[in-house]
Amino acid sequence: MRGETMQTENNRWLRGREGALRFSAFVPAGTVNQHLADPDKRERALELFSENGIRKVYLDCLRGGHFPGDELLTELRDVLQKRGFQVAAGLTPTRGTGKASTHGRWWLCYTNADTQAELQDIVRRTARIFDEIIVDDFLCTQCQCEECQSQRGHRSWAEYYRDLLVQVARDCIIEPSRSENPNIRITIKYPQWYDRFHVFGYDVCRHPGQFDEVWVGTEIRDPRVEYVHQYQAFANYRWLASLAGSKIGGAWFDFINCYPAIYVEQAVQSILAGARELIRFHYDPELYSPENPNTRALLQAIPMLEKLAETLDGQPNHGIAFYKPPDTDGGDEAYLLDYLGMLGLPMIPCHSFPDDAQAACLPVQAASDPDVVTRALAFAEAGGTLLITPGFLNELSHDTRILQLAGYATPPVTDADVWTFQFGVCQEPVHAEAHVHFGACLHPVAAETLATGIHPDGNFPVLTRHLYGEGKVLVLNAKTFRYPTGSGRVTTAEPVSLPHLPQSLVDRLRAEMLPHLPVKIQVRSRVGVYCYTNFLVLTNFNDQAVETRMTCQHGHRGPAEEIATHRSVGEWIDGQLVFPLPARQFVLLRMPESCSV
């Protein structure tokens, strides 16, 4: 009964609240007919929307070739609006519409005239009913049929797909919609696989200019099943926000391969990244029932999530800029950004060189920038801190300026295949919780080795530091994984061992990269660190509590309170705060005035 009482109180709070955070429901096309056409089932859906604090409902108008029908969609639009809900349309062009792609389980051949004609027809019918459409994340393809091969010409497949999907967006979605409804707003929703967008047709440079708004998938799901770590939701949203600018909108996550902790973490990461409207895909009476474990956990967390959103509104992120230019491959460092975040580095993804940052990471993708060497030199000379990777060094090894910048020999990197759990950090032996895989052997000459991998076949550098100008350059021997040529995989392809690095190594890396931050943070890996002007958020992705130690450069004394729950986390004593960070929870802390960024 206590649980029921708590749920009732949460529901009252949800229905009566108009705060910074908004939840929306997405109803797939088939579910529209199955659960919203019948009056009794519709009434149950309306009750569940209210119990879940839903303020806006997206009615899918195309999925698997299914269109729910003009009359039903019009009726539902009017009923929902009368009951106080905002209403918009969804559009999900998947297999069942037109011609299927030769590759990609749900994707279409967009070269095909029938596909384009069918899509245009549905778009026109939808635009006559709704003033807003969100295009779900299937505006991509890997079709290599004869039609596509003929039209591709001399372009790479990736180039052809991007050109094709820009044309399809214009001719089959945007222009037909606006010809039917000049006031319509059209949103593109990206999936969460930012390191693979360019391979399958998502053009992150041109699409944001075409659409009115850009939404972001933050559906990370269970890392044990899909290998995607929680930080990817934050990383994906922030990188797309750097491209979309003022057009960035909300986030979207789902129930697939989720359990309560990960389901709530999807929402937390979305909010930390800046999203204030969250679409919960998808509506089903069993999924939206307060008895559903995932829904129950989210409803219980919503007061804290709302406080998180309110507190961080208008608060810019601070940390380490991660430079990933558009349309770039990760090589052996695919999705490296996710894993640096999982190591507890506060990363700020960006698509252009971060000249104004104090600290920046240059992964292999950054090597595609023809001006990156000149800008990196100027960055370090002016006092900036750089973190570069083996892939970046290897790609630019022909340029002696980069070798001098990092303090490395020729060649700076050679291939390796080494696993170890033993390390030396500042000449102290430490053990990792599991073996870590290294794919490169670093060859520093002028750089100082700060951390070493210990192996029977010979020790090897893991972290080096080289002073350059007024700044410094660190090299982290980081490897994730590589996609095989022609792979259709979009998310993480295999487990990655990098988050197993020992805490002393992670703490040293964090301290070296963030000397400008007035607070020093010591905590093990798989704890996300998010720095804002006046606040700090820590998210524990571990299944057990972990000790967190914070040191303020200016001695500070007094109580420390977790803002979202108003509970005490400990006491600042002579500038130090030590507290346990609960498993699978976040803490939102106000920084002492002397420690604000």
**Within this chain, do residues 130 and 49 fall inside the same structural domain, yes or no?**
yes
| CA 234/CA 192 separation, integer angstroms | 10
Considering its fold, how many domains does the chain have in total? 3
**Within this chain, do residues 196 and 336 fall inside the same structural domain, yes or no?**
no
The structure's pTM equals: 0.96
* CATH number of domain containing 472: 3.40.50.880
Residues 190, 193, 198, 203: what is their CA dihedral angle, to the nearest 10 degrees? Answer: 10
Chain CA centroid to CA 403, Å: 32
Contacts of residue 571, Cβ cutoff 8 Å, sequence gap at least 6: 557, 558, 559, 560, 577
Nearest to 66 by CA among 117, 42, 32: 32
- Would you state the pLDDT for residue 18? 60
Per-residue pLDDT tens, the chain, 597 aa: give them: 223 333 333 443 343 346 799 999 999 999 999 999 999 999 999 999 999 999 999 999 999 999 999 999 999 999 999 999 999 999 999 999 999 999 999 999 999 999 999 999 999 999 999 999 999 999 999 999 999 999 999 999 999 999 999 999 999 999 999 999 999 999 999 999 999 999 999 999 999 999 999 999 999 999 999 999 999 999 999 999 999 999 999 999 999 999 999 999 999 999 999 999 999 999 999 999 999 999 999 999 999 999 999 999 999 999 999 999 999 999 999 999 999 999 999 999 999 999 999 999 999 999 999 999 999 999 999 999 999 999 999 999 999 999 999 999 999 999 999 999 999 999 899 999 999 999 999 999 999 999 999 999 999 999 999 999 999 999 999 999 999 999 999 999 899 999 999 999 999 999 999 998 989 999 999 999 999 999 999 999 999 999 999 999 778 889 999 999 999 999 999 999 999 999 999 999 998 877 766
**Within this chain, do residues 499 and 556 fall inside the same structural domain, yes or no?**
no
| CA 499/CA 342 separation, integer angstroms | 6
**Within this chain, do residues 165 and 45 fall inside the same structural domain, yes or no?**
yes
Domain of residue 574: give its range: 519-595
- Would you state the pLDDT for residue 596? 67
CB 318 within 8 A of CB 532: yes
**Within this chain, do residues 294 and 418 fall inside the same structural domain, yes or no?**
no
Nearest to 214 by CA among 222, 223, 226, 206: 206
Using CB atoms within 10 Å of the CB of residue 456, give its burial: 0 to 12 exposed, 13 to 18 middle, 19+ buried: exposed
> DSSP assignment of 326-355, as one string?
TT---GGGTTHHHHHHHTT--EEEESS--T
**Within this chain, do residues 122 and 47 fall inside the same structural domain, yes or no?**
yes
End of a domain among 296, 312, 328?
312
**Within this chain, do residues 465 and 502 fall inside the same structural domain, yes or no?**
yes
* CATH number of domain containing 159: 3.20.20.80
| CA 408/CA 405 separation, integer angstroms | 8
**Within this chain, do residues 53 and 137 fall inside the same structural domain, yes or no?**
yes
> DSSP assignment of 478-499, as one string?
-----PPTT----S--S---GG
- Would you state the pLDDT for residue 410? 96
Nearest to 360 by CA among 316, 322, 406, 330: 322
Helix (H, G, I), strand (E, B) or coil at 80: helix
**Within this chain, do residues 16 and 146 fall inside the same structural domain, yes or no?**
yes
